[in-house]
Structure 1
Amino acid sequence: MSYSDWFYEHGKKHKAIMDKLTHLSDQEVIAYFRFENMVEKEPDFCPLYKENKKCHDTEGLNCYLCGCPNFRFKDKGFHTREGKTLYSACSISSKEGGQFITEDAIHQDCSKCLVPHHESYIRTVFDRDWFEMMENVC
């Protein structure tokens, strides 16, 4: 699955949930997306939910920003001076982030970064429209 395919499919799932939550305040919406609640009420939102498994092993994991607004991708990539193709990167160069590098490709590794999963961060970029929050990603 390409980055774009995931991005648009995930955005549709996010919208379907948001369409059910119009009666909630912004803070209640953010609370709704806490991992424990999502596993119970939205098991199809993430394939890991069926195993009650987190993508990031942390207390207080919030899934509202599954897909980070600081992530940048281009399915066709950008060619680097080293002859590799850069497909994704972090716009804030998060110190917890890294890169997955193969012989000919570079992908952003967000597996250790928790920035978008803290409710304090979510409140700073919050928008009920996931695509609006993610407008600079691709």
Structure 2
Amino acid sequence: MSYKSWFDAHADKHKKIVDRLVAKGFSKEEIIEYFYFDNMVQHERDFCPLYEDNKKCHDMSKLNCYLCACPNFRFNDEGLGTYNELKILSKCDINNGEEFASGKSIHQDCSKCTVPHHKAYVEKHFDLDWKKIMKECEI
């Protein structure tokens, strides 16, 4: 699966949940609370493949899933450049995390970064339109 196809599919899933919550009259604060891992793993099993195993993508007690994918993540399926003959497909705009090579490509490893999963970060960047928050991700 390409970054772009995942990104678009995830945006659709996110929008369906947010639209349903807005239709129920949820406030911004209630929407943010709804997206905590403990609630999402119970009520939105299809949102993330890790939910099936009750597994978190990051080791943190209060993981908020509203910004699954990160506004600081940059990707281009055609490549962002090369390094030692490997095509760079993704990077971090704030230089957090590490990179890894897979096949002939370099990818950003965000597994140790919790920046977008804290409530304060979500509140600061909140918009009902996930794609608007993520508008700079696709280069």
TM-score of the aligned structures, taking structure 2 as reference length: 0.93
Per the TM alignment, residue 84 of structure 1 is displaced from its structure 2 partner at its CA by 2.0
Gap runs ≥5 in structure 2: none
- 2:39 pairs with 1:37: yes
Alpha-carbon offset, residue 52 of structure 1: 0.9
Deviates more, 1:124-133 or 1:50-59: 50-59
The worse-fitting range, judged by mean Cα deviation, of 103-112 and 82-91 is 103-112
Aligned-partner Cα distance in 2 for 1:68–1:4: 14
Cross-structure match for 1:117: 117
Q: Any idea what the Cα deviations from partners look like across 1:76-106, whole Å, max 9, x if unmatched?
A: 1133253221100000112xx1001246321
CA-based RMSD: 1.2
> Is residue 2:123 matched to residue 1:126?
no
Aligned partner of 2:85 in structure 1 is 83
Residues 31-55 of structure 1 show CA distances to partners (whole Å, capped at 9, x for unaligned) of: 0000000011111111111111111
- Aligned residue number for residue 101 of structure 1: 101
- CA positional deviation for 1:4: 0.3
The SS at the match of 1:77 is: coil
SS of the aligned residue for 1:21 comes to: helix
The amino acid of 1:35's aligned partner reads F
In the alignment, the residues of structure 1 paired with residue 89 and residue 21 of structure 2 have an alpha-carbon distance, to the nearest angstrom, of 34
Runs of 4+ in 1 over 6 A off after TM superposition: none
Q: Give percent identity, aligned residues only.
A: 53
Alignment of 1:9 onto 2:9: yes
Listed as ranges, the gaps of 5+ residues in structure 1 are none
Q: TM-score, normalised by structure 1?
A: 0.94
